[in-house]
Amino acid sequence: MTPEKPSDSDLAAIEIQLGRTPRDVHAVAYRCPCGNPAVVETPPRLNDGTPFPTFYYATCPNLTSEISTLENSDLMSTMNNRLNVDAELSGAYRAAHDDYIAARTALGIDVPEITDISAGGMPDRVKCLHSLIAHSLAAGEGVNPLGDEALAKLPQWWQNGNCLERRQQ
Residue 62 resides in a domain: yes
Q: Among residues 127, 155, 152, which one has the least CA distance to residue 141?
A: 152
Q: Give the global pTM.
A: 0.95
Residue 45 CB-density burial (10 A; 0-12 exposed, 13-18 middle, 19+ buried) = middle
Q: Among residues 61, 84, 60, 64, which one has the least CA distance to residue 72?
A: 64
Q: What is the pLDDT of residues 92-142, one digit of tens each?
A: 999 999 999 999 999 999 999 999 999 999 999 999 999 999 999 999 999
Predicted pLDDT of residue 56: 98
C-alpha torsion sign, points 125, 128, 131, 135: positive
Q: List all residues 6 or more positions away from 136 whose beta carbon is below 8 Å from its beta carbon.
A: 143, 144, 147, 148, 150, 151
Residue 44 resides in a domain: yes
The domain of 18 spans: 8-168
Q: What is the pLDDT of residues 16-59, one digit of tens each?
A: 999 999 999 999 999 999 899 999 999 999 999 999 999 999 99
Predicted pLDDT of residue 85: 98
Tell me how far apart the terminal alpha carbons of the chain are, to the nearest angstrom.
30
Helix (H) or strand (E) holding 136: helix 129-139
Residue 1 resides in a domain: no
Q: Among residues 35, 44, 154, which one has the least CA distance to residue 100?
A: 44
Q: Is the pLDDT of residue 168 over 70?
A: no
Residue 117 resides in a domain: yes
E strands, 11-151, in order = 27-31, 37-41, 56-58
Predicted pLDDT of residue 169: 53
Residue 115 resides in a domain: yes
Q: Is the pLDDT of residue 1 over 90?
A: no
Residue 29 resides in a domain: yes
Residue 46 resides in a domain: yes
Q: What is the pLDDT of residues 138-165, one digit of tens each?
A: 999 999 999 999 999 999 998 988 888 7
Q: How far apart are CA 38 and CA 31, in angstroms?
A: 5
Residue 2 resides in a domain: no
Longest CA–CA separation in the chain, Å: 48
| DSSP string covering 71-88 | HTSSHHHHHHHHHHH-HH
Domains in the chain, number: 1
